[in-house]
Amino acid sequence: MLLQRVITALVLLALLLPALLAPVAWPFAALTLLLIGSGGWEWGRLNGLGSAAALALGAMVAALCGLAWVQGLVQHVPPALWWLATACWVLGGSLALANGPKAWPLLSQGIRLVIGVVVLCAAWLALAAGKARGLEFLLSVFCVVWMADIAAYFGGRRFGRRKLAPAISPGKSWEGVWSGMAGVVALAVAWIALSPTGIDSIFGVIRQLLGWPGLALGVAFLCALSVMGDLIESMAKRAVGAKDSSRLLPGHGGVLDRVDALLPTLPAAMALASLAP
């Protein structure tokens, strides 16, 4: 299993890094459209669609995002959309988690599918807009999620006592969440200290807007959203008894298993960035 995870991660990096560094936009757009379409297919399967219908849903997600890119909408997304997406995640996500996995299937299939399409399209738009803003900005948002996950894992193993959401993800603890937040704050301070300009990353943007105390609160908020994205996807899987969203990525599960924490974090990062001069 470990060898599979390592090989898959290396293959993904071999695809992602050239796409990120390419002097033209289409390689990154093509790769991420393929991934977001795969996420749409997985979401359809998790919510009761058959093979053909799930493929159609994935194709629709990719087509909607592709249309936004072709029409140049990525550079002209109203900031209000980022704030609306963030508010929906905070309110809707909190409500879904409070009700738990048993309540999820009580929503009509159509509503669950629409939620997935909207969430995936909003996340892809934020991803593309973040790339347009700058490579350092996008990588710093990725690193928020990665550091939150790594620090939460080790902090939870060492200090974990109180379960965060035992009915959804029994392995997560409140101590893991606090460890993740502490890790992201430390990363933010180090990034700003080492960055040539100090303002091109999401950390620099938040510090410029809110100062050092606001930086700690801002990155903690992004970290909390990343945990929420992880829990929401876990809840959808638990509701249907699935361990992974698919087997597309050997050793890792599916695309949604890898990007779930990014789904709310990307729009929230763009919302904060929209306030910058």
Q: According to the model, what pLDDT value does residue 8 have?
A: 82
Return the pLDDT at 153: 92
pLDDT of residue 34: 96
Burial class, 23, CB count within 10 angstroms (exposed 0-12 / middle 13-18 / buried 19+): exposed
Model pLDDT for residues 124-144, shown as the tens digit of each residue:
999 999 999 999 999 999 999
What pLDDT is attached to residue 69? Answer: 94
Give pLDDT tens digits for 192-222. Answer: 999 877 789 999 999 999 999 999 999 999 9
How many structural domains is the chain composed of? 1
- Whether 37 and 58 have beta carbons less than 8 Å apart is answered as yes
With a cut of 70, which residues of the chain have pLDDT below it? 1-3
pLDDT of residue 2: 56
| Residue 89 structural domain | 2-273
Q: pTM of the prediction? A: 0.94
The tokens 């996500």 sit on which residue? 93
Long-range contacts of 149-156 (CB under 8 A, 24+ apart): 149/180, 149/226, 149/230, 149/261, 150/183, 151/179, 151/180, 151/182, 151/183, 151/184, 152/176, 152/177, 152/179, 152/180, 152/183, 152/227, 154/179, 155/179, 155/180, 155/182, 155/183
